[in-house]
Structure 1
Amino acid sequence: MILMTSTFLIIDDDINVRKMLTYLIIKNNLGKVVEELDNGEHAPEEIMFYQPDIVLIDFLLPQKDGIEIIQSCRSLGYKGKFIMISQVDNDNMIAKAYENGIIFFIHKPINNIEAINVIKGVCQTLQLERSVAMIKDAVFHIEREKQTNVQDNWREQIDYIFTDIGIIGESGCKDLIKLIEEIVSLKKKKKSSNYQLQDIYQQIAEEERLLNNTVIHARTIEQRIRRTILKALENIAALGNDDYYNSKFIEHSGVLFDFKQVKQEINHINNSREDRGKISVKKFVEGVVSKLNF
């Protein structure tokens, strides 16, 4: 897929991080860096002035932190994408960042493959959004028919991704697809929709109860989904262990999983005494959704 040119603004108080990200963006023909900032003091004003497609932003910054900047920009009407860069491992802080509209995390110290995969994934999302907008403008009079075709297409894309990562036949695959379909439905109504996974687990359990006349708990749905995603992590790690440059490993590892956890799973494959990698259901499903054309 040929990517349309994207513009970037980088905010990080470490000049080496800024230069590395700029280098990766230019080297991989991902777009143009329009500005670099070393603190958050005037960041919202600079973002609104340059209107970059993507902002790469550190969590902890002098003057004003990343969350404050994102909140200010959203209140001012900025529609671009945020990718957060951070050493932060606190789950509550990370959750707060996702709630405020970041797309993905790039963890420090920066891993080149992870950074490229994440940035490429967001660029592809932008390209899909632009393409869909152009199609809507061109064929507005057949909008209903187009929406039906696109919906069928993104459902096929889910099957393709799940086949790629080896989970299409897993017992929890249907639950995972239902979860993703619900999130897609929410995002089709409002791109920045907030949601609670527990609410969707409960909804899936209720639908299954009505369909099969059996009592099932939301916790059971969650466990099925987590087992399926853990299997995906195992499969991806196995690909990377065999060939670090395997195309499926490169395409999916940093988008669907925390890259540190992929490496931990690879360590476990090579030494069963090592802890297994961990998964984040929200990162996985948001990663899948970012790949869909809907």
Structure 2
Amino acid sequence: MRFFIVDDDEAIRSMLSEIIEDYDLGTVVGEAENGAAIDDHLLNMKAVDILIIDLLMPLRDGIETVRAIKPSFDGKIIMLSQVDNKEMIGNSYLLGVNYYITKPINRLEVIGIIQNVMEHIRMQNVIHNIEKNLNVLNTEKNPPASSTAAISKHSIVASGQNLLAELGMIGENGCSDLLGILDYLKSYENHQPLEQEFPSLKDIFMNVAMKKLGLSDPNDIKRETKALEQRVRRAIFQGLHHLSSIGVTDYTNPKFEEYAPKFYDFVEVRKMMLNLQNNMKPSISNSHINIKKFVKVLYLESKKRL
């Protein structure tokens, strides 16, 4: 990945550059001490994938700069700020900022957020390639039934990948299991409408495990079913943590307002937010994860995006 850093503090720019290079996250292709020193032409010329920019700077601040470059800059944007101003943060999200990093800089937080953004970019590229291939298939006259089914399945998986990326879950092991669940539910619905009866989680997990292992020992399938459930639970917990973090920063963030109550029991969201506000480390063992609700919503929302 190619990074560009904009911050009026030279020490911050140096620290971020070291983190990016030390952890092999990519290459820093440029730096600036003020937003007025960059424009969309410069960023596109340098093929920047991720722009890291400070919120408060002299001459032109981060929000003004993002507003100026966003129409023509397709890269991801990470905003830095030591100011906890919810209105300013909310405005930056609406303009297209993808993540926030609070100052003073925490090395682990920086690494985690950059890795999430990188994974989001990779998933978008995968989805783009899938859609490109589907468009080729759709141009064929009278595709056979098997091809139509393949298009439908691949579409639901691509749609699900995009949703999981927005929920901050891409990179978790359970994400591939959740995509396998979407694939299974699409096949299931071809024979029986889900509006009438949604299959039990036990049946869903077992069928996905069987498809993964093929003809295998029943004990192996049983173990994989249990492991699959645990991976899915951890992935869903990560999504809860991600959305709650957004809610703590900006309660009116559109992503938080849309996804938090839709995918999760809001009592759990509120509890997670309180833990984060009190600097308490959230624990999956102390959280009630409603897997069935999440899976249902993920499937229905993924279908809507087809």
**What TM-score range do you get, normalising by the shorter chain?**
0.5 to 0.7
Given that 1:53 and 1:80 are in contact with CA atoms closer than 8 Å, whether structure 2 keeps it comes out as yes
| Counterpart in the other structure of 2:190 | none
Q: Are residues 1:72 and 2:68 paired? A: yes
The one-letter code sitting in structure 1 at the alignment partner of 2:233 is T
**How has the CA–CA distance of structure 1 residues 262 and 115 changed in structure 2, closer, same or farther, with 3 Å as cutoff?**
farther
Q: 2:36 aligns with which of 36, 41, 55?
A: 41
TM-score by length of 2: 0.54
The one-letter code sitting in structure 2 at the alignment partner of 1:67 is I
Residues in 2 aligned to 1:152 and 1:262: alpha-carbon distance in whole angstroms? 30
The one-letter code sitting in structure 2 at the alignment partner of 1:146 is H
Mapping of residues 134-149 of structure 1, within 5 Å? 134-139=129-134, 140-141=136-137, 143-149=151-157
Q: Which runs of 5+ in 2 are unaligned?
A: 138-146, 165-174, 182-228, 244-252, 284-297
Mapping of residues 82-231 of structure 1, within 5 Å? 82-139=77-134, 140-141=136-137, 143-151=151-159, 156=178, 163-164=233-234, 195=254, 200=258, 225-231=265-271
Deviation of residue 132 (structure 1)? 2.1
TM-score by length of 1: 0.56
**How has the CA–CA distance of structure 1 residues 166 and 47 changed in structure 2, closer, same or farther, with 3 Å as cutoff?**
closer
Alpha-carbon displacement from aligned partner over 1:197-216 (angstroms, at most 9, x marks no partner): 66x59xx9xxxxxxxxxxxx
2:34 is paired with a residue of what secondary structure? coil
Alpha-carbon displacement from aligned partner over 1:183-222 (angstroms, at most 9, x marks no partner): xxxxxxxxxxx94766x59xx9xxxxxxxxxxxxxxxx69
**How has the CA–CA distance of structure 1 residues 69 and 51 changed in structure 2, closer, same or farther, with 3 Å as cutoff?**
farther
**How has the CA–CA distance of structure 1 residues 227 and 125 changed in structure 2, closer, same or farther, with 3 Å as cutoff?**
same
**How has the CA–CA distance of structure 1 residues 197 and 120 changed in structure 2, closer, same or farther, with 3 Å as cutoff?**
closer
Identical amino acids, percent of aligned pairs:
27
Residues in 2 aligned to 1:27 and 1:160: alpha-carbon distance in whole angstroms? 33
Given that 1:48 and 1:78 are in contact with CA atoms closer than 8 Å, whether structure 2 keeps it comes out as yes
**How has the CA–CA distance of structure 1 residues 167 and 197 changed in structure 2, closer, same or farther, with 3 Å as cutoff?**
closer
Please tell me whether Structure 1 or Structure 2 has the larger radius of gyration of its CA atoms.
2
| Counterpart in the other structure of 1:53 | 49
Given that 1:165 and 1:232 are in contact with CA atoms closer than 8 Å, whether structure 2 keeps it comes out as no
Q: Which runs of 5+ in 1 are unaligned?
A: 1-5, 181-193, 205-220, 238-260, 270-287
Deviation of residue 262 (structure 1)? 6.7
**How has the CA–CA distance of structure 1 residues 152 and 113 changed in structure 2, closer, same or farther, with 3 Å as cutoff?**
closer
The number of residue pairs the alignment matches comes to 198
Q: 2:59 aligns with which of 43, 56, 63?
A: 63
Q: 2:279 aligns with which of 261, 264, 288?
A: 264
| Counterpart in the other structure of 1:21 | 16
Residues in 2 aligned to 1:152 and 1:86: alpha-carbon distance in whole angstroms? 32
2:104 is paired with a residue of what secondary structure? coil
Which structure has more relative contact order (CA 8 Å, sep 6+)? It is: 1
**How has the CA–CA distance of structure 1 residues 65 and 113 changed in structure 2, closer, same or farther, with 3 Å as cutoff?**
same
**How has the CA–CA distance of structure 1 residues 263 and 166 changed in structure 2, closer, same or farther, with 3 Å as cutoff?**
farther
**How has the CA–CA distance of structure 1 residues 121 and 196 changed in structure 2, closer, same or farther, with 3 Å as cutoff?**
closer
Deviation of residue 130 (structure 1)? 1.4
Mapping of residues 267-282 of structure 1, within 5 Å? none
Given that 2:8 and 2:34 are in contact with CA atoms closer than 8 Å, whether structure 1 keeps it comes out as yes
Deviation of residue 145 (structure 1)? 3.9
The one-letter code sitting in structure 2 at the alignment partner of 1:228 is E
Mapping of residues 220-259 of structure 1, within 5 Å? 225-232=265-272
**How has the CA–CA distance of structure 1 residues 232 and 119 changed in structure 2, closer, same or farther, with 3 Å as cutoff?**
same
